Amino acid sequence: MLLDYPGSKGTDIIPASGQTAGFFPNASNPAFTNSTMVDYHPNIYQVVTNGNAGLNLLRTYICKDADVNASARYPPPRCHPGTREKIGRNLRDEWLGDPIHSSKIMWLSGPAGTGKSAVAQTFAEYCEENGCLGSSYFFSRPNHRDKFETVIPTIAYHLASAFPEYGILLDRLIAYDPTILDKTPRAQLRKLIIEPFSLLQAQGHPFAQRSVVILLDGLDECHGLELQCELIEMIGELVRLKKDLPFRWLICSRPEPHLEYIFSRSDSAIDCQKHRLLIDADTKVDVSKFLCDGFDAIRTRFWGNSSPEWPSPEQLTRVIEIVDGLFALGDTVLKYIGKHQYANPAQRLVDFLAYMQHADCVAMDNPLETLDLLYSQILRDIPEDIWPTTKQILQLEFGLHHSERPSAQTTANFLRIDQTTYFATLRMLHSVLEIPSPVDAASTGLQAFHASFGDYLANSNRSGKYHIGESEARLDNGELGLFWHSVMLSDATAVSDDPLDYKDYPSLTLVPYLKWPSGQPDKAARYLHGFWDQWTWWGLIGKAGLDKVSSTLLSLLEDFPFSYMDLDDYGFLIFISWLFQQSPPSYLLRTEASNDLDEVLLESIVSRFSAQGVSVVPMSFQITGIEVVRRYFFLGKGVRTCLFWTDADGVDLLISSDCTGRSRLSCKALAQSQFSISDCVLHAVEDPLFNSIID
């Protein structure tokens, strides 16, 4: 407990004059240097120090660079005039200005780059001007302002500077017992802040009767997630048990899940107001004003280097579109364009727009370096053993171009990870991604708060080891798609006499394999099938040949039952076309028989069509002067090999065995035709589109 301390009631730490004779009552002209003397009585103790020894000792325990006015933070971020007025009024008038009806804790959260620190700085300066700022601590991990053990000493030191009466008392307390500074943060909060303020308040000191704001900005950058939660618990307990103390706490952070939990937990509820900074329409208006005023300031500063019409309306519109409401990006752009040592803002703007159009050009300077450092820091917090799974999810979301993004549940099932793993993997990315709750996961997918995060991931020059490349994403997801195709095909053959009907049985074939089936496994299976079906074959098409892909992918392709594929699948036909273009040719697709099995398959169609006067030639063989030609190729390996054939002009085949017009001889049909080749099927490719792709 924070408030369980002995002897706190009735003890006058700053006694009125005449209560005691004090030190050396009859001495004249005494001289002391850096001395500490204690006069103890049963109910009164008096500590007299020379040279503020207690506060000087306390100063060695604080983080001096975390203050609102610290030179290390100069120039600090501030809200641009005329922007963020709504949250400003909320903090000044509704939260601070109405202490009776508002909570003593305000949690201001928002995605990375939305300007939380600027709001905090502006509000802290307002409080300082109005005499109600008690303390401010601006956390920053890159700048080493992240040590939990410095927080309470820093707050106490700031309070001592702001309120002299408290400072005198604190100086004496530390001088009397310097070991306070080596105790736990909970003990320090009790001994350095709660107890002395309670006593001063009981004595009627005016400053202890009005609101005192303590501001913590960037709490998520305090070292240690558990310590962040502990600090909030300490503050919540203080507010709950000592309602009469004047402190009002503004805590600013990214919307990390552990902080959301600690503020919302039901077993120990913390009474606080919450405000989320969003990239909404109002914010975009504010950022547009910020950019327009910023360009005006740059034009004024470099008045001889730019025309009054600079930037052009088209340039300004394009910058506003790129920034799209993210204050951090707007600030980065203006600093790049207005950099003093170049003194050529017009050219810098041209360079920036060129970079955004051709961001993969390594020869250009990166104008977004500051923003990239922010994103890199966020990704660096992901544990190394978790990153591979995180990367898989990011590849699926940002490495491919979706017409419709998959839901969180579909993504997890496709990647073969369960619900717990999915959310744990993304735990450190709540500041850049809008992650749906488990309740919404079946219908809602991931969404970046701002497009700049996806752009950062896609550019290897910017993201480095965190790069999400399209080629790698396509191959990895194509590999997973093959796995799911194989699962469905292998099970569908046991369900239907017609394996090509396997797509009609997704729930039967997929449900046992789902890692996250939820309450409606049939629906989850249908969503999963609809997603992978559009990506499997497209994903396998890349700049590298099959000799460059993983052994796992090659094994899946070698064992894949191509004979059951739907020949109306456009992606599959494109994949075949890509295989034809491989150099050297892939062993999976060949136009000449390479073994006895191939010879038997080829003989089956030669004998069929020769009686009709139809020539049978390899797909790659160029022939003229023959009216009707069947062109063929082999696809697959070993007993999985199947033979595809087509006609020269793309008309329907002469023989059709089902209502769809698709010619197909099953293994059973082959046996009835005196062919007995286990696990092999002959396919006829009749789609005119196929001919145009191959030709």
Q: Which residue, 367, 399, 421, sits at the end of a domain?
A: 367
Do 236 and 300 lie in one domain? The reply is no
State the chain's maximal CA–CA distance in angstroms.
135
Sign of CA dihedral 604, 608, 613, 617: negative
50 part of a folded domain: no
Question: Residue 360 — very low, low, confident or very high, per pLDDT cuts 50/70/90?
Answer: low
| 462: in domain | no
* DSSP codes of every residue in 347-395: HHHHHHHHHHHSTT-TTS--TTHHHHHHHHHHHHTS-TTTHHHHHHHHH
Q: What percent of the chain lies above the pLDDT cut of 70?
A: 77
pLDDT of residue 687: 40
Q: Are residues 614 and 690 in the same domain?
A: yes
d(CA 251, CA 274): 10
Is the pLDDT assigned to residue 364 strictly greater than 70?
no
Same domain for 247 and 313, yes or no, is: no
Residues 383-401: pLDDT tens digits?
A: 999 999 999 999 988 887 7
pLDDT per position as a tens digit, 563-582? 777 666 777 777 877 787 77
Do 270 and 324 fall within a single domain?
no
pLDDT band at 527 (very low <50, low <70, confident <90, very high): confident
Asked if 270 and 303 sit in the same domain, the reply is: no
Max mean pLDDT among 250-264, 465-479, 573-587 falls in: 250-264
Write out the H or E segment, with its range, that includes residue 448.
strand 447-448
What is the spatial distance between Cα 685 and Cα 572, in angstroms, rounded to a whole number?
Answer: 12
**How far apart are alpha carbons 534 and 561 in whole angstroms?**
18
Residues 195, 8 contacting (CB under 8 angstroms): yes
**Which residues form the domain of 322?**
281-367
Question: Which residue among 310, 341, 367 closes a domain?
Answer: 367
pLDDT score recorded for residue 274: 95
pLDDT for residue 22: 53
Q: Which residues pair with 615 in a beta bridge?
A: 629
- The closest of 290, 298, 299, 320 to 77, measured between CA atoms, is 290
Structural domain total, the chain:
3
Task: Quote the CA–CA distance of 408 and 445 in Å, as a whole number.
Answer: 5
Q: Are residues 147 and 227 in the same domain?
A: yes
Cα–Cα distance, 226 to 258 (Å, whole number): 9
Does the pLDDT at position 433 exceed 60? yes
Query: What pLDDT score does 449 carry?
Result: 95
Phi, psi of 417 (to 5 degrees): -125, 150
Residue 689 pLDDT: 38
Q: Summarize the confidence of residues 421-442 as an average pLDDT.
A: 95
Single out the residue in 243, 276, 309 at which a domain terminates: 276
More confident residue, 648 or 389: 389
pLDDT at 547 (0 to 100):
64
Rounded average pLDDT over 27-38 = 52
Please determine, for residue 440, whether its predicted confidence score (pLDDT) is greater than 90.
yes
Distance CA 161, CA 418 (A): 53
377 and 142 in contact (C-beta within 8 Å)? yes
Residue 583 lies in a domain: no
The residue ranking higher by pLDDT, 513 or 167, is 167
Listed ranges 12-21, 329-338, 625-634; the one with the highest mean pLDDT: 329-338
Both 270 and 294 in one domain: the answer is no
Q: What's the confidence (pLDDT) of residue 485?
A: 81
| Cα–Cα distance, 541 to 546 (Å, whole number) | 9
3-state class percentages of the chain: helix first, strand second, coil last, to nearest 5:
50, 10, 40
- Considering only 369-378, 502-511, 568-577, 635-644, which range has the smallest mean pLDDT? 502-511
> What is the pTM assigned to this prediction?
0.79
How many alpha carbons fall within 13 Å on the CB side of residue 550? 13
Predicted pLDDT of residue 690: 36
Residues 291 and 249 in one domain: no
Angle between helices 570-580 and 521-540 (to 10 degrees): 30
Q: Same domain, yes or no, for 668 and 597?
A: yes
Rounded distance, CA 611 to CA 626, Å?
15
Shared domain check, 348 and 293: yes
DSSP 453: H
Do 196 and 218 sit in the same domain of this protein? yes
